[in-house]
Amino acid sequence: MIAIEQLFGPTPDAAALIAELDGVLGAVYEPEQRHGLSIEQVFGPHVRFFMARLDGEAVGCGAVALFEGYAEVKRMYTRESVRGRGVGKALLARIEQEARAAGKPILRLETGTLQAAAIGLYEQCGFRSCGAFGPYAALPPHRIATSLFYENPL
């Protein structure tokens, strides 16, 4: 059974998942092309962080950052060993629920061009390609050359 819980501070499981995600992304993208939040930032005042557990084991995480007029998906990750079992969909549903509860009309995200599983999940869940938004729009082109941007009205 998949359980999604909101965390209010760093835990060893959260730190391990974020470290795994950083390792995966660090293997394929240059540092200036990675736009993830640190473990400290995911517990900031305008961010909500969620952990997915499958049969009690921490297997995924995701966050939502709340901005003026929209919310952004951050730090989405599912361990490869459990992909295809609904963990990502469950996390994304919880993130969407949080964004709606905060009164945000649209949910946006940035992902990497090489993240095929993530791209498939987002498109399957109704996200559509859009232009760079928020702080990404102000970055020089080389900083977002490996980025794709998506949005989904809530």
Those residues of the chain that have pLDDT short of 50 are none
Residue 42's closest CA among 22, 24, 58? 22
How far is the C-alpha of 108 from the C-alpha of 86, rounded, in Å? 21
Which residues in the chain belong to E strands, given as ranges?
2-7, 47-54, 57-67, 70-78, 106-112, 128-130, 147-153
What CATH number corresponds to the domain at position 118?
Answer: 3.40.630.30
Per the structure, the count of domains in the chain is 1
How far is the C-alpha of 145 from the C-alpha of 98, rounded, in Å? 30
Share the mean pLDDT of the chain: 97
pLDDT of residue 136: 98
pLDDT of residue 78: 97
CB 14 within 8 A of CB 7: yes
SS3 42: helix
How far is the C-alpha of 61 from the C-alpha of 84, rounded, in Å? 15
> Which residue segment(s) compose the domain that 105 sits in?
2-153
pLDDT digits (tens, 9 = 90+) for 79-108: 999 999 999 999 999 999 999 999 999 999
